[in-house]
């Protein structure tokens, strides 16, 4: 469902333009008053604006915005000390050449710490950072 409302300029104060919605027939205004920063409006200030409201369900990503293409395992399962296996990254492009990842494929290690897009993994006598798409939690 989409709601479209036309608002008219009521007044301008303190760097803002205040718009109000007029009643439509027997229906009361839905948006009432809307204040818009003057710098965001064209000059001269418009005498009317049209506002479109779309309704949808908001689902919050479990990963950071910059890692939106990277699948992240369940956060609780990927805590410090969790055991993980390095796997091929099938969902997102890698930051490193494929040859770099190949040397680690199939190896198992422990999570040292996590970041927004991946985790630092201790593998035997070395440690390296891997994106979440390259990690699978093991028992």
Residue pLDDT tens, the chain, 139 long: 788 889 999 999 989 999 999 887 888 888 889 999 999 999 999 999 999 988 887 776 555 544 444 455 555 567 788 899 888 765 555 566 667 778 888 899 999 988 877 889 999 889 988 888 888 888 7
CATH superfamily for 68-137 is Ribosomal protein L21 (2.30.30.70)
User: Where do the domains of the chain lie?
Assistant: 2-54, 68-137
Model pLDDT, residue 137 = 86
Model pLDDT, residue 70 = 47
Q: List the structure tokens of 41.
A: 């409006």
Q: Give every CB contact of residue 53 below 8 A, 6+ residues apart in sequence.
A: 2, 3, 4, 5, 31
Cα gap 50→66, rounded to integer Å: 33
Model pLDDT, residue 115 = 81
Model pLDDT, residue 18 = 95
Cα gap 127→104, rounded to integer Å: 11
Model pLDDT, residue 122 = 93
Model pLDDT, residue 41 = 93
Model pLDDT, residue 117 = 77
- Only one residue has tokens 């718009």, namely 19
Rounded to two decimals, the pTM is 0.44
């Amino acid at each position: 469902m989409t709601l479209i409302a036309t608002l008219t300029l009521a007044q301008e104060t303190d760097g803002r333009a205040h718009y109000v919605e007029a009643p439509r027939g027997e229906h009361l205004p839905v948006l009432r008053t809307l204040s818009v920063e003057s710098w965001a409006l064209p000059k001269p200030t418009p005498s009317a604006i049209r506002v479109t409201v779309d309704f949808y369900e908001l689902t919050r990503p479990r990963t950071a915005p910059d890692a939106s293409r990277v699948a992240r395992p369940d956060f609780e399962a990927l805590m410090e000390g969790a055991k993980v296996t390095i796997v091929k990254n099938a969902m997102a492009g890698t930051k490193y050449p494929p040859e770099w990842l190949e040397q680690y494929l199939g190896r198992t290690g422990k999570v040292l710490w996590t970041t927004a897009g991946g985790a630092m993994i201790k593998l035997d006598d070395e440690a390296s950072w891997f994106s979440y798409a390259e990690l699978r939690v093991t028992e």
